[in-house]
Structure 1
Amino acid sequence: MTTVAAWAAPAAKAPLERTTVSRRAVGEKDVLIDIAFVGICHSDIHQVREGWGKAIFPMVPGHEIAGVVAETGSGVTKYAIGDRVGVGCMVDSCRVCVNCRAGLQQYCSDGPVWTYNSVGKDGQPTYGGYAQKIVVDEDFVVRIPDALPLDAAAPLLCAGITTYSPLRHWNAGPGRSVAVVGLGGLGHMGVKIAHALGAEVTVLSQSLRKKDDGLRMGADHYHATADPATFTDLAGSLDLILNTVSAPLDFGAYFSLLRTDGAMVNLGMPEEAAEVDMQSLFGLRRSMSSSGIGGIPETQEMLDFCAEHGVVADIETIGADEINEAYERVLASDVRYRFVIDTATV
């Protein structure tokens, strides 16, 4: 066991504070990672505040982890000391169910072991990346290409794969019209990746406040959803809508923007239940779906794709003592577009 410095929420809705946590000894297939940077995801805030249900405390959040291998177990074959690596939202799964065998560990039939706020196979709580080090089985570690700076690559481990996976699954690319609802931590990655895939990209945001940013990131069009004309002008024009916001919407209005066989895929997870009028889906074989991160193979594919196309997150780097302030700023939409903690300050 190794004791490392970390920042944790001692109880639900409590401010995070500096503490220490124990990491297991490096096992045969384990990799010890010196964490360099970790992103702040909106889901960190949901879980610290028990917005998604009862949670495990103390909680060390953080599932956008970028760092360097410091030690490897005797049976590790994929990584060596000094390698640049990342860890995303999960650190284990059953490995034997149909989904795991297909590389879809995020849909493990038994449920994956999440990077934090979860219980590992050893029966101990998992602690995330707001810490100096982490020990992870090599099968749940991914390689960060040299072309990607570690700080701006960290958010790719959640925000990047959460948008890349549905864009690939729903065939975003040349000749396809994709809209991204919300230009935040998730949304700005959706715009960049959809553009890199060759799709025609539209941003649907409450206002035009971030229009210049959206166009710079690769959007072809930018519309304010507060303007009723948006839903008239864009009616029946979209193949795919990625909804990145964590709040209920007038889904019927958004369904009206889809062409025949168009799909709206929900990535944000509101704390409250949402209502959907099923009649608004009828007529053009439109569909409503969801998507959760990606498996380990697809996460590596995403990182390689981003390296090839120069896609990284727009970040604001902070010290660990600014975490609580950063949480409030995320809730106020006052970040462009992802906070990343320099773990040298932990």
Structure 2
Amino acid sequence: MTVARAYAATSATSGLHATTIERREPGPNDVEIAIEFCGLCHSDVHTIRGEWAGTTYPLVPGHEIVGTVRRIGAGVRTFAVGDVVGVGCLVDSCRECDSCLEGFEQYCENGNTGTYGVPDRRNGGGITQGGYASSIVVDENYVLRIPEGMDRAAAAPLLCAGITTYSPLRYLDVQDGDTVGVIGLGGLGHMAVKIAKALGATVTVFTTSPTKAEAAIALGADEVVVSTDPDQMASAKYSLNAIIDTVAAVHDLNQYLRTLGRDGALIQLGLPPGPMPAINPGALIRKRLAYGGSLIGGIAETQEMLDFCAEHGVVSDIELVTAGQLDEAYDRMVAGDVKYRFVLDTATL
């Protein structure tokens, strides 16, 4: 075992505090990574503050990890010491079910292993501990290569927010000339705008806040619709091929379905805390619409996303924070006071 510096919570109300954790010695297929940056995801806040059931404390969060390979196991062939790499939301899966064999490890039918907060199926038990730490050891099959020249800190959120928005856009086969709507302009929303634009789409941002119009345009949006304005929503009717919904609050989808043309689709990414208003089946039937959901992406697709973003100059808009600012950053995330993702500089641990 090796010892890593880390920041962990010991209860739902403890906040995050300095500690040390043990990491396993690299096995034959393992990569040991010296972590340099780790993005802060809203799911970190929900988990650490006990807002989702099942949190086991003490817990180190973080699943948007970028760093440098420090050691490799004897059987590792994909990576070498000194490589710049990333780790996203997954560190393992069953590797045997249809989903895993087809490259959809995020939908593992036997339960994938998240980067933090879940039982570690292959390493003597215990709970996986995440990237608010100085190092991590991960099987090479779940490690990503960060493209040369990509800003390491700004690349970190791509490993969650980036792939979460890229995957449904690729699933919907969005391409040059398509029209895409993005509901919400937070951490996920700003990545959806950037990636949809890079795919060649014309992008409309839906927001409840007129003050976000300028920011949306600056990110590349072609149009902004204030969803609380009936006239603006009416003007958007039948205008879109696809909608990516990034909002995690309870909201009515029926007005957005009216903006889709025939054979359009709305993909839900945000996970509201309670039941959503019912969708009118007639809205789907009359235009052959589809309503679905999407969860991050598989390992191969995540690498594809990183390479695509490097090719098109896409990274996340970030604000670096120190370890001592983590609790404040969590409060600001809850308040929506970030443009658009916080990233922890692990040198401050």
- Give the structure 1 partner of residue 275 of structure 2: 273
How many Å separate the matches in 2 of 1:276 and 1:28? 51
Q: CA deviation at 1:50?
A: 2.6
- Give the structure 2 partner of residue 312 of structure 1: 315
Structure 2 counterpart SS, 1:209: helix
Structure 2 counterpart SS, 1:153: helix
- Give the structure 1 partner of residue 241 of structure 2: 239
Question: Which of 283, 286, 295 is the aligned partner of 1:283?
Answer: 286
The alignment status of 1:83 with 2:83, answered yes or no, reads yes
Q: CA deviation at 1:88?
A: 0.1
AA partner of residue 334 (structure 1) = D
AA partner of residue 189 (structure 1) = M
Alignment of 1:129-278 (within 5 A): 129-278=131-280
Verify the 8 A CA contact 2:225 2:233 in the aligned structure 1. no
AA partner of residue 319 (structure 1) = T
Q: CA deviation at 1:175?
A: 2.2
- Give the structure 1 partner of residue 334 of structure 2: 331
Q: CA deviation at 1:149?
A: 1.0
Q: 1:14 to 1:270 in 2, by over 3 A?
A: farther
Verify the 8 A CA contact 1:66 1:150 in the aligned structure 2. yes
The alignment status of 1:62 with 2:62, answered yes or no, reads yes
AA partner of residue 164 (structure 1) = Y
> What percent of counterpart residues are identical?
51
Extract unaligned runs of 5+ from structure 2: none
Q: CA deviation at 1:217?
A: 1.6
AA partner of residue 347 (structure 2) = A
AA partner of residue 146 (structure 1) = E
More deviation in 160-169 or 53-62?
A: 53-62
The alignment status of 1:300 with 2:303, answered yes or no, reads yes
Q: CA deviation at 1:277?
A: 2.7
How many Å separate the matches in 1 of 2:166 and 2:70? 29
How many Å separate the matches in 1 of 2:250 and 2:321? 30
Structure 1 counterpart SS, 2:148: coil
- Give the structure 2 partner of residue 35 of structure 1: 35
Q: CA deviation at 1:226?
A: 2.1
Verify the 8 A CA contact 1:207 1:223 in the aligned structure 2. no
How many Å separate the matches in 2 of 1:224 and 1:50? 33
Verify the 8 A CA contact 1:51 1:271 in the aligned structure 2. no
Please give the per-residue CA displacement for 1:166-189, whole angstroms capped at 9, x wherever unaligned: 001001111211011111111100
Structure 2 counterpart SS, 1:306: helix
Q: CA deviation at 1:345?
A: 0.4
RMSD of equivalent CA atoms: 1.0
* Structure-2-length-normalised TM-score: 0.97
Structure 2 counterpart SS, 1:210: helix
Please give the per-residue CA displacement for 1:77-125, whole angstroms capped at 9, x wherever unaligned: 0000000000000100000111101111001001110000111113210
How many Å separate the matches in 2 of 1:183 and 1:191? 8
Q: CA deviation at 1:208?
A: 2.3
How many Å separate the matches in 1 of 2:180 and 2:13? 36
Structure 2 counterpart SS, 1:125: coil
* Structure-1-length-normalised TM-score: 0.98
AA partner of residue 10 (structure 1) = T
AA partner of residue 245 (structure 1) = V
More deviation in 131-140 or 170-179?
A: 170-179
How many Å separate the matches in 1 of 2:88 and 2:71? 19
How many Å separate the matches in 1 of 2:212 and 2:82? 39
AA partner of residue 85 (structure 2) = V
Q: CA deviation at 1:282?
A: 2.7
Verify the 8 A CA contact 2:321 2:343 in the aligned structure 1. yes
Extract unaligned runs of 5+ from structure 1: none
How many Å separate the matches in 2 of 1:128 and 1:181? 29
- Give the structure 1 partner of residue 110 of structure 2: 110
How many Å separate the matches in 2 of 1:246 and 1:132? 31
Structure 1 counterpart SS, 2:211: coil
